[in-house]
């Protein structure tokens, strides 16, 4: 069984002090949970402070973006080496907010993934359809296009996919567990057909995940975890999501021991 993976995406929230405060109270809340992989992706400015505190824990540190060149005259951009030296092991690429506000195309996403992987960073690749696309029954077509473009000439090692329907992000409108599983199933089938090692890759759901809906979403066979925005900003709510995600493993273990 794939280990559940819960990632916090803080977006443009939290100063250095707020980051330290969050992490210091979060660590004791999840210290006994070993069956869930946890990642926090704060803003760039908080990475180093977060890394210092997280060093002695199993909690991973990620960034929310990266540039596809490795160094040079690219004012305002951040390279893989910078992320690694700040303590990151992972980077979120292709989030719908970056596609929408910063004009990131699948081609740019593809270049970013290549540079990240070349430098040993793990990647969470975000894909998902808009409300209009869903209403026009184009969900699978959109996912196919994003997967084809973003993963061109890329092997699946070190990659996690986050299915984030744009209409569910920050809206309080979560996809039903059936809708999530259906999209995840499509993604899994696409990967099995087009790439090696698709069975090991984890597919996270993202979009208005809360402590209250985590267990139901995670009860679906193809939902391996969550990418959490709003509900990851408070230590107790994020810790509860992590705990609830672990229930998937506990239920499975109980089933196996019967
Ligand atoms: P949300 O954001 O949980 O606030 O909907 C999820 C995301 O954008 O990754």
Grade residue 154 by pLDDT with cuts at 50, 70 and 90.
very high
Rounded Cα distance between 250 and 98, Å, is: 36
pLDDT digits (tens, 9 = 90+) for 203-240: 999 999 999 999 999 999 999 999 999 999 999 999 99
pLDDT at 249: 78
Q: Is 184 a catalytic residue?
A: no
pLDDT digits (tens, 9 = 90+) for 75-106: 999 999 999 999 999 999 999 999 999 999 99
Report how far ligand 1's centroid is from the alpha carbon of 100 (Å).
14
Mutate to test the pocket of ligand 1, among 130, 228, 231 (most ligand atoms within 8 A of CB): 228
DSSP states of 104-166: --HHHHHHHHHHHHHTT-EEEEEE---HHHHHTT-HHHHHHHHHHHHTTT--STTEEEEE--G
The answer to whether the CB of 206 falls within 8 A of the CB of 228 is yes
Q: 5-257 is classed in which CATH architecture?
A: Alpha-Beta Barrel (3.20)
Is residue 172 over pLDDT 80? Answer: yes
Task: Give the chain's mean pLDDT.
Answer: 96
Catalytic residue among 95, 97, 104, 184: 95
Report how far ligand 1's centroid is from the alpha carbon of 229 (Å).
4
* Ligand 1 pocket, residues with Cβ under 6 angstroms: 9, 164, 169-170, 206-209, 227-231
pLDDT at 257: 80
Catalytic residue among 164, 184, 220, 222: 164
Encoding tokens for residue 125?
Answer: 């690749």
Rounded Cα distance between 208 and 16, Å, is: 25
Is residue 201 over pLDDT 90? Answer: yes
Report how far ligand 1's centroid is from the alpha carbon of 205 (Å).
10
pLDDT digits (tens, 9 = 90+) for 99-121: 999 999 999 999 999 999 999 99
For the chain, which residues make up each domain, given as ranges?
A: 5-257
């Amino acid at each position: 069984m794939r280990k559940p993976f819960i990632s916090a995406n803080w977006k443009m929230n939290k100063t250095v002090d707020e980051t330290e405060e969050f992490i210091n109270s979060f660590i004791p809340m999840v210290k006994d949970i070993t069956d869930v992989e946890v990642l926090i992706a704060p803003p760039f400015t908080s990475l180093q402070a977060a890394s210092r505190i997280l060093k002695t824990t199993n909690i991973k540190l990620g960034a929310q973006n990266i540039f596809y060149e490795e160094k040079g005259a690219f004012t305002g951009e951040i390279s893989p080496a910078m992320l690694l030296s700040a303590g990151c092991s992972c980077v979120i690429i292709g989030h719908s907010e970056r596609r929408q506000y910063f004009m990131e195309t699948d081609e740019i996403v593809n270049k970013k993934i290549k540079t990240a992987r070349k430098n040993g960073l793990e990647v969470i690749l975000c894909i998902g359809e808009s409300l209009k696309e869903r209403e026009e029954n184009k969900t699978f077509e959109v996912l196919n296009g994003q997967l084809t473009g973003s993963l061109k000439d890329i092997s699946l090692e070190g990659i996690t996919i986050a299915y984030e329907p744009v209409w569910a992000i920050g809206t309080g409108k979560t996809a039903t567990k059936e809708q999530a599983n259906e999209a995840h199933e499509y993604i899994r089938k696409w990967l099995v057909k087009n790439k090696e090692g698709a069975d090991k890759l984890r597919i996270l759901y993202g979009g208005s995940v809360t402590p209250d809906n985590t267990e139901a979403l995670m009860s679906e066979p193809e939902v391996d975890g969550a990418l959490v925005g709003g509900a990851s900003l408070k230590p107790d709510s994020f810790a509860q999501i992590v705990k609830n995600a672990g229930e998937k493993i506990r239920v499975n273990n109980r089933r196996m021991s019967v």
